[in-house]
Structures are given as structure tokens and as C-alpha cells.
Amino acid sequence: MVTGGSKGIGRAVALALAGAGADVAICARKMAELEPVAEEVRALGRRSFAAACDVTDGEQVSRLPAAIAEALGPIDILVNNAGASESHKFVGHPDELWARMLEINLTGVYRVCKAVVPGMIERKGGRIITIASISSKVGARYVAAYTASKHGVLGLMRALAVELNSYNITVNCICPGYVDTPMTDANVANMAARTGKPEAEIRKAIASGNPQGRLIAPEEVAAVAVMLAGEAARSITGQAINVDGGAVTF
């Protein structure tokens, strides 16, 4: 199960997991954008299931595991990927923006884990992989709420890693730097609107924050998710693996 599986990193993870032999359930708010990805999964020879689900809606989330179980079987691998990023300087920071970031990036993951973990405990096995961020480890200007939410989700995953270890459930984070996705496109457009600088210049500045001088491809993040989902990774838990070109070294 991949949340936010309709585009960007989530789509790449869904396709990579399918390529590695998994049947894949994807969810996001817009059903019309999920269906083409579900079709791409089927084209890889795996079964797929797409569900419209907003991870900030407890009711919708609680119904998801049973719907997926009926369509594909129980959830062995959960990839918490759905997320959002908005920026604002701290002085005059809108409270709604603070609440929104925590709601989707932290409480959304809490909610989805709460719905999925009991089944994993029952079956004594599972993989939980959360797409966190290097903002889970370091601070940056104008992203107080996003950074707090991503630090929080890393803490949540570390706690679950300890608590669920005896059930053969591993829990890890992947911490990307800037990835070339629609989210980054939107961030670039916002920065361009705010600063009056051309988008190309902003993309260049973002890329230069990566010591390798480029945006990361979603497939690079997906490859780590596949590794963590595999049997060979059964001893890896409670980790936060950076995929950031070496920008952060802890």
C-alpha cells in the first residue's frame, strides 16, 4: 500500500514495488490521477487497487485496510508517502498552515499506521517505510511547520520501530533531498512568484544545494523503498536513510 501513489515519489515507489513482484494498492485524494498509475502497475503484470482516500480523514483511512484486503489481500508493505510542503517566514506564520502541515505529514502517517499495524501484528510481519525528508534531520529557513512535521514523523517511526520489532515488523524512514516531482515544481513556482526570479534560476539554486548538483529522480527514492521492503532488509529497522546526494551526513 502506497499513500499518495498517483504522482511523484509515490508513483515511482508503486511501479518499483510492482516491478519487484508486489501487488500494489495506491491511494490519494484524486481518483482520476490514480487510475493511470494502477494501469501502469497492471502493465507490469501485477494486480493493483486504487482508492480515493484523504489521509487527513480518519473515517476514510479506517476503511482502507479492509477494502485493500478484499481486493488484493492483507497489507504486507506500507509506504507512507502522502505529504505536502508549504513555506512561510516564521513572523506572521498562519496557524492554519502549521495545522495543515502537521495534519498531513505527521498525524496522517499516525492515522494510517494505526489502521494498518493491527493486521501486521496479527500476521506477525510487515514493513513500514515512511518517506520523510532531510527536513527530518536539519532545519531550513521558511519551512518551520514542514520541518516540525517531518522531525515528528521520524520520531514516530523510531518509536514504532522499537515497539513493533518483536512482531517482525520493520519501520524505517527514507529522507530525500529535493526530488524532481510535481511538489518541487509547485515549490519552484511559488518561490518564483514570491521573489520575481525566473523558475530556471530557482531550480538551479535548489540543485546546487545538493552536493551532486542535481535534483534527485523519484526512482532513486523508490529503489531504497524496494530494498527496505525486501526479505534481505529484515535486520534494518529504526533507520532514516538519506537520499540527498550527501547534503546531510547523519
Q: Which chain residues interact with ligand NDP by CB under 6 A?
A: 3-4, 6-10, 28-30, 33, 54-56, 81-85, 104, 131, 133, 176, 178-179, 181-184
Q: How far is the CB of 51 from ligand NDP (least distance, A)?
A: 10
Q: How far is the CB of 76 from ligand NDP (least distance, A)?
A: 20
Which is closer to ligand NDP, CB of 121 or CB of 148? 148
Count CA atoms closer than 13 A to 30's CA, side-chain side.
Answer: 6
Q: At what angle do helices 58-71 and 108-123 cross, to 10 degrees?
A: 40
Contact 103, 86 (CB under 8 A): no
**Given the residues 110, 142, 146, 167, the one annotated as active site:** 146
Distance CA(179)–CA(83), nearest Å, equals 13
Q: How far is the CB of 107 from ligand NDP (least distance, A)?
A: 11
- Runs of H (alpha helix) within the chain: 8-19, 31-43, 58-71, 95-102, 108-123, 144-164, 182-195, 199-208, 218-229
Contact 3, 212 (CB under 8 A): no
Name residue, grid cell 492554519.
96
Which is closer to ligand NDP, CB of 29 or CB of 123? 29
Q: How far is the CB of 114 from ligand NDP (least distance, A)?
A: 15
Distance CA(93)–CA(112), nearest Å, equals 28
Which is closer to ligand NDP, CB of 165 or CB of 208? 208
Which is closer to ligand NDP, CB of 35 or CB of 54? 54
110 is catalytic: no
Here the cell at position 55 is 489521509
Distance CA(248)–CA(250), nearest Å, equals 6
Distance CA(215)–CA(218), nearest Å, equals 9
Q: Pick from 55, 135, 132, 130: which is nearest to 87 by CA?
A: 135
Which is closer to ligand NDP, CB of 155 or CB of 165? 155
Q: How far is the CB of 175 from ligand NDP (least distance, A)?
A: 7
Residues with a catalytic annotation lie at: 146
